[in-house]
Amino acid sequence: MTAHQQTEHQQPHHESVHHIGSLFTYALIFGALLIGTGLTVWAAFQNIEVGGISLNAPIALIIATVKATLVVLYFMHVKDSSRLTKITVISGVFWLGILLTLTMTDFLTRAWH
Amino acid sequence: MSTAVTDVVVTETHVMPEEHYLNADHSLKSWLLTQDHKRIAILYMLTITFFFFVGGIMASLVRLELLTPAGDLLESDTYNKAFTMHGVMMIFFFLIPSVPATLGNFLIPMMIGAKDLAFPKINLLSWYIFVVGACFGLAAMITGGVDTGWTFYAPLSTTYSNTNVILTAVGILIAGFASIFTGLNFIVTIHKMRAPGQTWFRLPLFVWAHYAASIIMVLGTPVIAITLILVALERGFHIGIFDPRLGGDPILFQHMFWFYSHPAVYIMILPGMGVISEVVTTFSHKRIFGYKAIAFSSVAIAVFGFLVWAHHMFIAGISMYAALIFSLISFLVAIPSAIKVFNWSATLYKGSVRWNTPMLYAFGFIGLFTIGGLTGLFLAALGLDVHLTETYFIVAHFHYVMVGGMVLAYLCGIHHWWPKMTGRLYPELPAKLSALLVFVGFNLTFMPQFILGYLGMPRRYHSYPPEWQVLNVLSTAGASILAIGFLLPMLYLVWSLKYGQVAGPNPWESTGLEWETSSPPPSHNFHETPVVTSEPYNYGEKEGEV
Ligand SMILES: [Cu+2]
């Protein structure tokens, strides 16, 4: 907690950093998450195909990503946090991107016999 | 520049400070519930020393088996377990926490002029988590061991091995969180707790190196955690992720494993490089050459280290396009390491070099790390790698980096800051002798392995053709010298706790905030918060710049 106190001490003008969203916003986001869950369940039972390639997994992943983004932004207060916190979150996502992209350089160009 | 070999000799008589962090409270409870980063560093040091010797015993078994061509001392299954447990113990329970959790923990708050780390309770928690994880690892070893190699390649680990894979994986998973907590604590501390005037470019390079290593700990460790959970899921519940028979892809395991485990090499080596930067400048009594280049090369290593992992997989069946990309980037990552080596060498130039034990270890580090790094380039080359990978060349290469580099840096740092941690000097003569033994023993152990590997001796077998016996005997002989070199410090360092000469606050005439307070430091490091007014290595224009 020492760092926390020191932050406040050094930056007295950033009281809004600790601002917590209204109950209404929380309810709204919670509703959106429920809709997302419903959508995931519904999409799982559809046979979504384009040109013979099943799109079920990508669609489920997109819905999950949107939901996770909402949780991080609102419930974890990243939306109202300092720029340093935002950079930290973005670098985490960026690193995940490195893992996926460079792994794909192998999977997408491999000679599949 | 004087040609005589000189030492720093402490002639003044000092007295121990009346109250310091070690004698503030003697009860066991005061140690087990301490939130003092210095005491937690000591707890970590005792723990990892224990695991270093457990890993060392396993290494001895391997070297003894390889004394003769026949697989006579250990059955092949037992041999598989011996080298696996050696790797697991040394990497996850010694090397990963080695410098950061001990010296980093002890020194970072002092170097930036703070009273403690940002989250002292999380720091203590990280030690407890580490101990719990390590106990799982020990339990796995005692109840039968693992035989997959420290790399846990699937589908061997997920389907075929009948040993304690899950128990070991759980241990590593738990210990991983200790590493994440340490990294998180360092990042926040370095951002938020710097003393007035301690700007980023006035931070010691040790702190920069730890900042870079912390980035890797925080961003990389979750991936190994998830990978090990997936191994456990496939092993326990037959969920097809890695095993082709279940619809999985074994190469996926290697991608995920090495995404962490290559950068993990930099978790181990970067803090060691931080130690060397401090020691080289102190014992040259001269401003470090290329401060910003060294600082930024640490960050560059942390970032580029994440882009090279598939160089471990060139023969595993990855696409040749991917292999080309990873080979190219692997060559590039050598540049920031080379920058450091050149800058350390340039620091020595026209410095007043003093040959105390830490400096001997630093010289050893620079030479051996360079050999380790350059042979890494052999292995990054696509064609040559096909011949050399999975041979003793690989084993020699990473031991040059991990032992010749990291363990030497650890010993270097322990000797350098021993007076700060304990208030007493280690005895110089036995310390120099053991530094020499380590250097000679190390080279005798691992230089023959480069040749063996080039001749084609594969790793991880308990028998080999008789024509390779001479080189293997040399290697085992070297290992026994190395063992003495590692045991000696245990003896004289413990001896020095009681009988060592009282060091005084700054025996090496070093700059740096940690040397401005008494040795051992008071519980809150400084009696009043220091104010920083100049660069970290301000050795002035006196003897250093002749
Ligand atoms: Cu690597």
Are B302 and B266 within 8 A, CB to CB? Answer: yes
Q: Residue B256: closest CA among chain A residues belongs to which residue?
A: A99
Residue whose C-alpha is closest to residue B193's, from A20, A27, A4: A4
pLDDT per position as a tens digit, B288-306: 999 999 999 999 999 999 9
**pLDDT confidence of residue A21:** 59
Summary mean pLDDT of chain B: 94
**pLDDT confidence of residue A7:** 43
User: Domain tally for chain B?
Assistant: 1
| Contact check, Cβ <8 Å, B319/A102 | no
**Nearest CA of chain A to the CA of B309: how many Å?**
9
**pLDDT confidence of residue B1:** 44
| Contact check, Cβ <8 Å, B319/A110 | yes
Q: Establish if B30 belongs to a structural domain.
A: no
Across the interface, of B193, B321, B326, the residue whose CB is closest to A109 is B321
Q: Which positions in chain B touch A106 (Cβ < 8 Å)?
A: 251, 255, 310, 318-319, 322
DSSP state of B385: H
Domain ranges of chain A: 22-80, 82-113
| Contact check, Cβ <8 Å, A6/B319 | no
Rounded distance between C-alpha atoms, residue B90 and residue B503, angstroms: 32
Q: Which positions in chain B touch A107 (Cβ < 8 Å)?
A: 319
How far, in Å, from the CA of B330 to the mean position of ligand 1?
8
Q: Establish if B81 belongs to a structural domain.
A: yes
Task: Report ipTM for this prediction.
Answer: 0.85
* Cis, peptide link before residue B458, omega less than 30° from 0: no
Across the interface, of A84, A99, A106, the residue whose CB is closest to B318 is A106
**Nearest CA of chain A to the CA of B219: how many Å?**
6
Q: Establish if B7 belongs to a structural domain.
A: no
Q: How confident is the model at residue A19 (pLDDT cuts 50, 70, 90)?
A: low
Question: Locate tokens 């000092």: which residue?
Answer: B14
| Contact check, Cβ <8 Å, B252/A105 | no
Three-state SS for B138-169 is: HHHHHCCCCCCCCCCCCCHHHHHCCCCHHHHH
**pLDDT confidence of residue A61:** 93
**pLDDT confidence of residue A11:** 44
Name the stretches of chain B with pLDDT < 50. 1-3, 541-546
Domain containing B480 equals: 38-536
**pLDDT confidence of residue B14:** 86
| Contact check, Cβ <8 Å, B259/A99 | yes
**pLDDT confidence of residue B11:** 74
| Contact check, Cβ <8 Å, B219/A92 | yes
Cβ contacts from A onto B, under 8 A: 58
CATH number at residue B193: 1.20.210.10
How far, in Å, from the CA of B312 to the mean position of ligand 1?
6
Determine whether B376 is exposed, middle or buried from the number of CB atoms within 10 Å of its CB (0-12, 13-18, 19+).
Answer: buried
| Contact check, Cβ <8 Å, B188/A3 | yes
The whole-model pTM stands at 0.91
Q: Which positions in chain B touch A2 (Cβ < 8 Å)?
A: 115-116, 118-120, 193
Q: Establish if B27 belongs to a structural domain.
A: no
DSSP state of B87: H
Across the interface, of A2, A84, A98, the residue whose CB is closest to B307 is A98
Distances (CA, A) of B172 to B91, B166, B169: 10, 10, 5
Q: Which positions in chain A touch B318 (Cβ < 8 Å)?
A: 106, 110
Rg (CA), chain B: 23
Distance spanning both ends of chain A, measured CA to CA: 57
